[in-house]
Chains A and B, each alone.
Chain A
Amino acid sequence: MFALNNEIVSLTSEKLRSKFGEELLSEETIMDMPAYTFKKECIADVLRFLYDDETLKYRFLTDLCGIHYPDNELQFGVIYHLHSMENNQRIRLKVFAALNDINVPTATTVFKGANWMERETFDFYGIVFTGHPNLERILNVADMDYFPMRKEYPLEDGTREDKNDDFFGR
């Protein structure tokens, strides 16, 4: 388990609440990591705020990934994991977007490392990061016309004719 630096966590919550007020939609601590959900428009500002703050110093972007909840109204989520090396504290930020408004501001202005991670999220889920220098597919073939990690698409290659679906429970 990651050790929780309670002082820093409460300071983070306080500062985020005071700076972002309404845009901070929820905060909770799931297992060993504090998680904050924001409105998607302000995420670049949140990352910049947490980077610049002299006490909090969340200056390392550990991970950026997407997630798809088809049953929710805001189906697509982008999850950020930040790490403050000096305080040894990790937090998770989440933003959600609806299918017809699937733009999220880019994090590349704050972290250069978000470049490929956002391309991967775009490749898998179709989430468009506004302001990204080069938003193209990165892992799949360039002319693929759908976003494979969305829940409605199958895993298997459709061209196999030798696998009998009955035996595989499909």
Chain B
Amino acid sequence: MKEKLQNKIDTSDIAGAEVHEFVTLNVGPTHPATHGVFQNVMTMDGEYIVDAKQTIGYIHRAFEKIAERRAYYQILPLTDRLNYCSSPINNMGWHMTVEKLLGIEIPKRVQYMRVIIMELARIADHNVCNSVVGVDTGALTGFTYMFQEREKIYEIFEEICGSRLTTSIGRIGGFERNWGDRAWTKLRAFMKSHPARLKEFEALLTRNRIFLDRTIDVGPISAEQALNYGFTGPNLRAAGVDYDVRVANPYCSYEDFDFIVPVGTHGDTHDRFSVREAEMWESMSIINQAIAKLDAMEDKSTFNADSDEFVLPAKEKVYNNMEALIFHFKQVMGETAVPPGEIYSAVEGANGELGFYVVSDGGRTPYRVHFRRPCFIYYQAYPEMIKGSLLSDAIITMSSMNVIAGELDA
């Protein structure tokens, strides 16, 4: 990296001041510590950061333009690839948006199943984020243990939808098939074994002197600044604002569940880590409640809403009923149209409020789709959060903010 004299501030009129020489350091798009492709050109005064100029867009895949050319159910694999660490939440968010536009009523059983899937994805994403904060402070062990837990979650997803990471789970109206016995067995086994593993991970870091020194007061942001920038999710809650879409605008029967929303005080890295840790415990409690509620229900076979236009009808009906045959044909050919309208719907993604703004003109593809991506909005505040801090602290701030490149650039 070429080091050039970029800026000299002449402070000779201030008695006793030194002349500062700034150095430009490129923390480039391919950097092992930036978990994703974003570039920061930092202006540094020795080891302290004065300013950072950000460049993003290295993985811009034009999701919004693609979505204008795809039928509503074909946009599902696109939403996977937004926040790929927790794709089921994106999938469910999309389903709920289209169902809102269509006015489909989802049965309670399906809603509880969706809650389980979303909370599992939230646990998976917070696992990655927290273990990566550990890696960046030097604690590589936590990462290897937590990825083993992620494997168990992958297995559960695989039993339900066939894929590990980019799940495309569920369909508009519910799920593609009922969950098999193996999925339930694996889910219950996971819920039994995970608390002990999470406690092990916490034991490594939560009261570790080195970790506390590295993360307390690093990359702080105040609640007013965070709100002005449009922060949502764990980053906002760490700053002290208790805004959670699941509580403010409940969707998918979240009002039936009893959980707390953990909130921090200073908005620094330690608070973000702790908020995510606490949220993992809350997610497990929600999943246990959902499993209990599903066990208590007599109905064990509904897995989708009764809407022929968007849900493939059962094969017996297709062979015997004219309307079902027509709907089956229309859907497979991609000819089912959505009524005109405009909708904004949001879910609580792992990083914050993931919003979908859909404008439909009555055709088979949307007229405009806009994804309100939380990462994109809160990453703007990064230069302000790292002003005056050391370079290694800036790295930890970025990893604790959980910036996922796919969601940043869409």
Contacts and interface: CB of A to CB of B under 8 A. Distances in A.
Touching in the complex, A and B, CB below 8 A? yes
Interface in B337-354: 341-344, 346, 353
Nearest to B59: A139
A155 B372 contact: no
A31 B341 contact: yes
Interface of A: 1-3, 30-31, 33, 35, 59-63, 65, 67, 79, 81, 85, 88, 90, 92, 111-117, 120, 124, 137-141, 148-149, 155
B380 A81 contact: no
B271 interface: no
A117 B230 CA distance: 11
Given A30-B342, A113-B377, A138-B57, A62 B228 contact: no
Interface of B: 56-57, 60, 62, 64-66, 68-69, 100-101, 225, 227-231, 241, 243, 248-249, 341-344, 346, 353, 355, 357, 359, 368, 370, 372, 376-377, 379-381, 409-410
Contacts of B357: 63, 65, 79, 81
Given A85-B248, A111-B228, A117-B376, 4 more contacts: A61-B230, A65-B370, A113-B231, A116-B377
B355 A112 contact: no
A90 B357 CA distance: 13
A115 B381 CA distance: 10
A148 B66 CA distance: 11
A137 B58 CA distance: 12
17 contacts: A1-B100, A30-B342, A62-B353, A63-B372, A67-B359, A88-B249, A112-B229, A113-B229, A113-B380, A116-B377, A116-B380, A117-B376, A139-B409, A140-B57, A148-B62, A155-B62, A155-B69
B353 A3 contact: no
A112 B230 CA distance: 8
